[in-house]
Structures are given as structure tokens and as C-alpha cells.
A = this chain, B = another copy of it.
Amino acid sequence: MAGTRRHGGGRGRPTLEEVAARAGVGRGTVSRVINGSPRVSDRTRTAVEQAVAELGYVPNRVARALAANRADAVALVIPEPETRLFAEPYFSDIIRGVGAELAETDLQLLLTLIRTPKERQRLADYLSAHRVDGVLLVSVHADDPLPDLLEQIEMPAVLSGRRSAHESVPYVDSDNTGGAQSAVEHLIGRGRSTVATITGPLDMYVAQCRLAGYRAAVRAAGREVDPELVAVADFTEEGGRRAMRRLLDQRPDVDGVFAASDVMAAGARQVLRENGRRVPDDVALVGFEDSAVARHMDPPLTSVRQGTEEMGRAMVRVLLEEIEGPSDRTSKRPQLVLPTQLVRRASS
């Protein structure tokens, strides 16, 4: 970082003051017109609007941010290494949703990838240095200090997913338990008698929920939950492969598998093929997330759709509310759980 950074655009961009002069009014009045205040007479408003148009005036957002003590921007924080592993499509879908919803406001989107603890530290500084009005946190781990830290400095924040069943911070989550349950019910409904599950790491709440859904569905069918049919993995493709091998090894009679993520389902599918098991004829397979991976598998994967893009949109809506008027521990926090939906394809 060195040297003189030239400003990009308008050398001689018109300022508020110039607009005021041209319209023959004061600065305050122009400001009111720009910000849509109702306390301006129609005649004045028209005059100002004309001057704005003639001069091609565009408010300087930096000056506005400084004067008004706000940033007109929100940050989307993405912990990078993990995201890469298990949630590729998730990540871009969230961005899409967030971007779409934000486009309808005049807020800007600051993207922050975190790779190292050092960067996480810098992040806290950034955020408190008034660059953003609020923060969206994606795929937060149970032990992540960031949410509480943000709470301390009174920075509005919304999580995607919960850290635990008693999440204290505003969040938007999808119905992991219900989604998993419907997936397993579907497998059982298709006549599968020995339905296994491949889970995510159980220190993640999302993995716990999907496992709980599996259990609920098994019990609802009047069966016992067999520990040999539960293989713990880590949301990666390789993890899915290992888990499937173990399953095949311990319970060769398995005829249905619910994987807690599409990527793990893809890994499982490879192992099934290697072992000469046909999908869905010998083993029916269902995933979770309904990402691009699911559509591209052979056969296409039945999966639990969680509407990731809609989650992104919802996060923004919640965040805007928090920015407008923050909730606190005493009031009811905005916490949303979005429905999921089973998308049936040829794998089951």
C-alpha cells in the first residue's frame, strides 16, 4: 500500500452547493429534496430537480456517510476455507439472493472473505470503523466469537443458520429437521427397509438437526434407530465416500441412504457404483440442498431443496429491520425458519 491513489471519476463533479446555487436555494433545501423530505414546497422541489438534472448531480456517498454517520453498506462475511469444502453452490446462491434484495435498496454490498484468524481480527476493526451499517454472517461455527463481538459493539447482524438450538442472535435458517424427515419418509415410503444416513460433523447444529430428522422419520415408521446405519462424515465428498464404504461394509443390506448434503451424496454414489450397486434399483439415494451438483449427478439426485437464494433475501430483510430499529435481548429477536421441499429425481 503506497502512493497516491487517484480518484477515479469526476474531477469536477457538481456538489450540493453548486446545485443549490443554480436552483437559487440553500444547501439544506437541496438536501431535503435529494432525500425525499416532505417539507419542501412543490415549486422549490421542481426547481431543485431541474438543477440536479441539468448539472448531472450525483450525491457523494462518502460525504454523506461521514456526515450522517452511516455507511449505506452492509457486509457479507464468508469464512472461506470451509465454504470451499462443503458449500460451493450454497455460497453463490446466498450471494445471489443478497444481491437481489439489496438492489432494491440503495445499500451496497461489501464482500469479505475470511481465510485466517488474523483476517478475522482485522474484520472486527473494519466493521467498527464505520464502514458498514450491518453484517450478514454465513456458515458460522458453534464456537465463533464474531456474533457476540458484533453484539457488543451494537452492530446489527444476521446469521444464516444457528449455532445452537438457543441461538440468541437474529438468524435465518431452513427447516433442516423437517427437510431431513421428509427425505427419509420418502425413502421409507418407497418401500426401502434399511435406510441409512450420512451426517455432517455433529458439532455443527445443522448436522444435528438433519440427523434428528432422520431419527424422527425412522421412529415415525415404527422402527428402531440402528446406530450402524448412522455414519458420521464432514460434508465433503471424500467424507461421503468413506461413510458409504463403512455403511456397505457393516450393513450390506442397506437399500436407502439419506446424505445430509448433495456433495456427500455424490461421494456415496461413486462408492455405490464401484461396488456394483445400482441407483436407485439397489440403493435409493437422497441428498440435501438441491444444488447444481444434484441436478448433474447420474442419475439426477433427489434432494431437499432449501431455497438458498431466498435465504439470502430473507437475511437482508431481517438485517434492514435490525438496522432500522435493533432488537435486544429483552425483546423478541427476528428469527426465521424457512420451509424446505423434497425435489424428486431419478435417484430414489
Contact = CB atoms under 8 A, between A and B. Distances in A.
Interface residues of A, number: 71
Given A1-B106, A119-B103, A96 B84 contact: yes
A8 B154 contact: yes
Contact of A1 (B88, B105, B273, B293): B105
A101 to B, nearest CB: 11
B68 A62 contact: no
A323 B7 CA distance: 8
A95 interface: yes
A193 interface: no
A interface SS class: mixed
B129 A5 contact: no
Contacts of A115: 100, 103
Contacts of A112: 99, 108-109
Nearest to A156: B8
Given A100-B113, A110-B110, A298-B273, A62 B5 contact: no
Interface string A22-35: 00000000000000
Contacts of A324: 3, 5
Interface in A155-200: 155-156
Interface string A54-84: 0000111111011011111100100010001
A132 B346 CA distance: 48
Contacts of A280: none
A145 interface: no
A95 B326 CA distance: 31
A326 B108 CA distance: 26
For this chain, the copies found in one complex come to: 2
A92 interface: yes
B155 A8 contact: yes
Contact of A63 (B66, B92, B108): B66
A89 interface: yes
Most chain B Cβ neighbours within 10 Å, of A8, A80, A131? A8
A62 B58 contact: no
Contacts of A96: 80, 84, 113
Contact of A60 (B58, B91, B113, B129): B129
A342 B234 CA distance: 30
A5 B323 contact: yes
28 contacts: A1-B105, A6-B70, A6-B326, A7-B71, A8-B71, A8-B135, A8-B154, A8-B155, A9-B127, A9-B153, A10-B129, A10-B153, A58-B125, A60-B66, A62-B65, A62-B71, A62-B130, A66-B66, A80-B96, A80-B99, A91-B92, A92-B92, A95-B113, A99-B113, A108-B112, A108-B131, A110-B110, A110-B111
Interface of A: 1, 3, 5-11, 13, 58-63, 65-66, 68-73, 76, 80, 84, 88-89, 91-92, 95-96, 99-100, 103, 105-106, 108-113, 115, 119, 125-135, 153-156, 266, 273, 292-293, 296-298, 323-324, 326
